[in-house]
C-alpha cells in the first residue's frame, strides 16, 4: 500500500468534518477489510484514513428505546422491541448474539467470509462495501463504475452478475447482511449533519441503496462524510425469519444467490408482515415485494411458496452466463419461506 | 518500513532456508519479478498538516508479542503481517494471499483469531499478539502442535501456523467442552490447505479437545487409534 496517515477522531461530527469536501483523498475506516482490499488492488489510494474506532460503537442489544429522529423524517416501523446494533459491531458478534426473531441476521453474519474476517469486519463496513465484481476490482480496467462507458459484464464473463434490476451496471450487491436486514425491515441511523447533539435521520434499508439507473458509480445514498452509525431491527411479537445462501465452496465464498424472509403467524395460522429479500441477484439488495404481497394474509403452503418464488423472479433477465441464478433463486426463496414459516419442506 | 529496538536476528541458528535464500540474492530475483507501483514519497502527500494525523512517517508502537514487550516505530501503511515478518523477522506467520482469503497469516490478537494481513500494525497498540511461535517452541511443542505431528496433520506446512492459531483459539474458548468434528471444521473454515490435510487437522484438534485435557500422555495413547485416512491430495 502507498504511504498514508491515520487519524482517530473521538466524535462523529469530527470524523465527518475530516472527510467532507475531500472524498478523493480521505476515507473512513471501520474494520478495513474491503478498504485494504481496494488499496492493495491499486484501485484506491487515499492519503488519510479516518478511523472510526473511537467515534462509533460496537455491540448489539434488545431494547424498547427508539432513536430521537427529526420531526420531518421517517420514524422506525412500530414494534414492541428493537434489536439495535452499533455500526462497529463485528460480524462475529452479530452471529453470536442469539436474539429473538432475527435468525436471518445471525445466519447471514455467521456464513459470511471466514471466522478470522468475521472477527474484524463490521456491520457498517459490510453494508457500505464496494462491489466485488471482477471488472470493478481490476485496476487495469475502466468499467462503468469507475467512470467508463459500459459495464464490462455485458460482453464479458457474467456468471456472477445481476439477473434483476440490472442496467446500465450489472454488479450484484456484495452485502449478505443487507439481504437479511432488508427482509427484517431494518432502518439505519445516519449522521449527515454537522452537530453531534441534534437528532439525526433514520433511513429504511431499502432507501439506503442506490440502483445503477440512478447513479452507476455508487451503491448507496450516503455522501462522502456521511456516516452510518447504527442499525435498528423491529422485533414483532412471534416474528420468525430465515436466511439461506448457495455458494460454490463451503467457506469463504461469495453467495451465488441468497434469500431471506421474515413473517409472523397470527392466531388463525395466517402469515402477517411478510417481507422477502434476495441477494447477489441485483445491483441493490433486492426487495421481492411481489412475493411478499402474494403471501400476506395467506396460510403457508408449498404451492403458495412456489407461486411466490415465480412472482419474485417474474422480471428476471439473464445475461449470457448467469441464467442458472433464476431457478436457484426460486428454490432458495421457497426454502427460506418453508424454514421461516415452519412448514416442512416437500419430500 | 520500520525501525525496531527488539533483539537482532538470531545468528546462532546456523544455516536456515531464509538465510540461504538471502545469501544467494533470491530477494533481488523475486523483486525483479513482481510488479510494484512507482515509489511515492510521503512528502508529496498533503496530510501532514492535519492535526492529530499519524503514521505517514514511523510512529511509536508498543504491544506484547508472544509474551515479549515490543517497542518500535512503524508507518501506518505497514500491515501487522509485514511488521511481524519483515521488521521483526517472526516468519512463523505466513504470507500467501495478502487479502484475508487464505488464513495463513492468522494470529491471535487478545485471544481473538484474526487475519494479520488485513490489519494495520498500529491496530495492535497495547494489545497482546500471539503467533504460532507463541504457542510453543520447537524444543517444547504444545499439546496441539504435538498432536498435529502425530496425526500427520500437515503436508507442505504452509497453512499450518494459521491452522494452529484457529484451532488453539477454539480450544481456549471451548475449554472443558466436548467438541464435534463440525466445531473444528467451523473454526478452521478460514484456513485454506491446498494439500487437503483437513481431516487430519480435525483429528488432531479433537484428540486434544476430547482426549482428557491434551496432555502428552493422552496424545501418545491416541497415536495408537486408527485415524481417518480420508484426506485427498
Which residue has cell 456468471? A159
Parallel/antiparallel/unpaired status of strands A48-51 and B106-109: unpaired
* Percent of chain A residues topping a pLDDT of 90: 91
Q: What pLDDT is stored for residue B24 in this prediction?
A: 56
Q: Confidence band (pLDDT; 50, 70, 90) for B176? A: confident
CA distance A30 to chain B (A): 11
Instruction: For residue A204, name the pLDDT band (cuts at 50, 70, 90).
Output: very high
The 10 Å Cβ neighbour count of residue B25 is 10
Q: Which residue has the cell 514519497?
A: B41
**B:91-130 residues touching chain A, CB 8 A cutoff:** 98-101, 103, 106, 112-115, 118-120, 122
Structural contact between residues A53 and A8, judged by C-beta atoms closer than 8 angstroms: yes
- B136 touching A, CB under 8 A? no
* Alpha helices (H) in B134-227, listed in sequence order: 143-150, 160-173, 181-187, 198-209, 216-223
Nearest to B118 among A7, A25, A33 (CB): A33
A284 or B215: which carries more pLDDT confidence?
A284
- B67, HSE (Cβ side, Cα atoms, 13 Å): 6
Q: Which of 186-225 (B) contact A at CB < 8 A?
A: 186-187, 189-192
Q: Span B149-154, mean pLDDT? A: 96
In the structure, what pLDDT confidence band is assigned to residue B23 with cuts at 50, 70 and 90?
A: low
Predicted pLDDT of residue A347? 73
Which chain A residues are closer than 8 Å to B187 by Cβ?
115
Q: What percent of chain A has pLDDT over 70?
A: 100
Domain spans, chain B: 57-134, 135-214
> Mean pLDDT, to the nearest integer, of A50-77?
92
Taking domain B57-134, whether its CATH number is 3.10.20.30 is answered by yes
Residues 6 or more apart whose Cβ sits within 8 Å of residue B84: B65, B90, B91, B93, B107, B116, B129, B131
Tell me which long-range contacts B57-61 makes (C-beta under 8 A, separation of at least 24): B58/B1, B58/B2, B58/B3, B59/B122, B61/B121, B61/B122, B61/B124, B61/B125
Cβ separation of A119 and B120 shorter than 8 Å? no
What is the rounded CA–CA span in Å between residue A40 and residue B35? Answer: 12
Whether ipTM tops 0.90, in short, is yes
Nearest to A207 by CA among A226, A220, A194: A220
CB contact under 8 A, B56 and A32: no
Q: Residue A302 — pLDDT band, cuts 50, 70, 90?
A: very high
Specify the range with the lowest mean pLDDT, choosing from A69-83, A152-166, A324-338, B216-230: B216-230
* Torsion sign (Cα): A244, A113, A255, A312: positive
Q: Please tell me which of the candidates B46, B53, B103 has its beta carbon nearest to residue A7.
A: B53
pLDDT at position B25: 53
Q: Is the pLDDT of residue B88 over 60?
A: yes
- For residue A74, what pLDDT is reported? 78
pLDDT tops 50 at residue B204: yes
Lowest mean pLDDT among A308-317, B7-16, B154-163: B7-16
Check if A1 contacts B (Cβ < 8 Å): yes
Residue A143 DSSP one-character state = -
Mean pLDDT of B38-45: 57
Domains in chain A, CATH or no CATH each: 1-55 (3.30.43.10), 57-341 (3.30.390.50)
Paired strand residues for B128: B64
Rounded to 5°, the CA angle B128-B129-B133 comes to 130
**A331 sits in which H/E element:** helix A325-341
Residues written for chain B? 233
CB contact under 8 Å between A6 and B48, yes or no, is no
Q: Check residue B227 and give its pLDDT.
A: 43
For residue A327, give the C-alpha cell.
431457478
pLDDT at B43: 56
Q: In this complex, is the C-beta atom of B15 within 8 Å of any C-beta atom belonging to chain A?
A: no
The pairing of strands A202-204 and A227-235 is unpaired
Q: What is the pTM of this model?
A: 0.90
Q: What percent of chain B has pLDDT over 90?
A: 66
So what's the pLDDT on residue A346? 84
Tell me which of A226 and B138 has the higher pLDDT.
A226
Cβ B166 vs Cβ A92: under 8 Å:
no
Please check the confidence at residue B218 and state whether its pLDDT lies above 70: no
Q: Does residue A262 sit in helix, strand or coil?
A: strand
Q: Which pLDDT does position A200 carry in this prediction?
A: 86
CATH superfamily membership of B135-214: [2Fe-2S]-binding domain (1.10.150.120)
Amino acid at each position: 500500500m502507498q504511504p498514508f496517515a491515520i487519524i482517530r477522531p473521538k466524535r462523529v461530527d469530527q470524523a465527518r468534518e475530516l472527510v467532507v469536501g475531500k472524498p478523493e483523498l480521505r476515507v473512513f475506516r471501520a474494520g478495513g477489510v474491503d478498504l485494504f482490499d481496494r488499496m492493495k488492488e491499486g484501485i484506491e489510494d487515499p492519503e488519510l484514513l479516518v478511523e472510526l474506532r473511537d467515534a462509533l460503537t460496537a455491540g448489539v442489544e434488545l431494547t424498547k428505546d427508539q432513536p430521537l429522529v427529526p420531526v420531518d423524517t421517517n420514524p422506525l416501523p412500530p414494534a414492541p422491541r428493537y434489536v439495535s446494533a452499533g455500526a462497529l459491531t463485528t460480524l462475529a458478534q452479530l452471529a453470536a448474539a442469539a436474539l429473538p426473531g432475527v435468525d436471518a441476521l445471525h445466519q447471514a453474519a455467521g456464513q459470511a467470509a471466514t471466522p478470522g474476517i468475521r472477527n474484524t469486519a463490521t456491520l457498517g463496513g459490510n453494508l457500505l462495501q464496494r462491489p466485488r465484481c471482477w471488472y470493478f476490482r481490476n485496476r487495469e480496467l475502466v468499467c462503468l463504475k469507475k467512470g467508463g462507458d459500459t459495464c464490462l459484464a455485458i460482453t464479458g464473463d457474467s456468471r456472477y452478475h445481476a439477473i434483476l434490476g440490472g442496467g446500465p451496471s450489472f454488479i450484484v450487491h456484495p452485502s449478505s447482511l443487507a439481504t437479511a436486514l432488508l427482509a427484517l425491515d431494518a432502518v439505519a441511523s445516519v449522521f449527515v449533519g454537522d452537530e453531534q447533539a441534534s437528532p439525526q435521520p433514520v433511513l429504511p434499508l431499502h432507501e439506503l441503496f442506490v440502483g445503477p439507473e440512478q447513479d452507476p458509480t455508487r451503491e448507496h445514498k450516503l455522501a462522502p462524510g456521511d456516516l452510518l452509525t447504527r442499525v435498528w431491527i423491529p422485533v414483532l411479537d412471534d416474528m420468525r425469519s430465515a436466511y439461506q445462501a448457495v455458494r460454490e465452496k463451503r467457506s469463504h465464498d461469495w453467495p451465488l444467490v441468497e434469500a431471506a424472509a421474515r413473517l409472523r403467524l397470527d392466531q388463525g395460522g395466517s402469515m402477517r408482515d411478510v417481507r422477502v429479500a434476495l441477494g447477489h441477484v441485483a445491483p441493490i439488495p433486492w426487495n421481492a415485494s411481489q412475493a411478499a404481497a402474494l403471501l400476506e394474509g395467506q396460510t403457508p403452503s408449498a404451492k403458495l411458496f412456489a407461486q411466490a418464488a415465480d412472482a419474485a423472479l417474474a422480471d428476471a433477465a439473464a445475461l449470457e452466463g448467469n441464467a442458472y441464478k433464476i431457478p436457484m433463486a426460486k428454490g432458495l426463496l421457497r426454502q427460506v419461506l418453508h424454514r421461516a414459516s415452519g412448514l416442512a419442506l416437500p419430500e | 518500513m520500520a525501525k525496531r529496538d527488539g533483539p537482532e536476528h538470531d545468528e546462532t541458528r546456523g544455516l536456515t532456508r531464509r538465510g540461504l535464500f538471502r545469501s544467494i540474492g533470491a530477494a533481488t530475483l523475486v523483486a525483479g519479478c513482481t510488479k510494484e507501483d512507482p515509489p511515492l514519497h510521503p512528502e508529496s502527500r498533503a496530510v501532514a498538516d492535519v492535526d492529530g494525523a499519524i503514521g505517514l512517517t514511523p510512529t511509536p508502537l508498543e504491544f506484547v508479542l508472544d509474551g515479549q514487550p515490543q517497542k518500535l516505530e512503524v508507518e501506518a501503511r505497514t500491515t501487522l503481517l509485514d511488521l511481524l515478518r519483515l521488521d521483526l523477522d517472526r516468519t512463523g506467520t505466513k504470507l500467501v494471499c495478502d487479502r484475508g482469503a487464505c488464513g495463513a497469516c492468522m494470529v491471535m490478537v487478545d485471544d481473538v483469531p484474526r487475519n494479520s494481513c488485513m490489519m494495520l500494525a498500529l491496530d495492535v497498540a497495547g494489545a497482546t499478539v500471539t503467533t504460532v511461535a507463541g504457542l510453543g517452541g520447537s524444543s517444547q511443542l504444545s499439546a496441539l502442535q504435538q498432536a498435529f505431528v502425530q496425526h500427520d496433520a500437515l503436508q507442505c506446512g504452509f497453512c499450518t501456523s494459521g491452522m494452529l492459531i484457529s484451532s488453539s483459539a477454539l480450544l481456549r474458548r471451548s475449554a472443558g467442552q466436548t467438541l464435534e468434528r463440525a466445531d473444528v471444521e467451523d473454526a478452521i473454515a478460514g484456513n485454506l490447505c491446498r494439500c487437503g490435510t483437513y481431516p487430519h487437522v480435525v483429528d488432531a484438534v479433537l484428540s486434544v479437545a476430547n482426549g482428557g485435557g491434551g496432555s502428552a500422555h493422552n496424545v501418545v495413547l491416541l497415536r495408537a487409534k486408527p485415524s481417518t485416512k480420508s484426506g485427498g491430495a
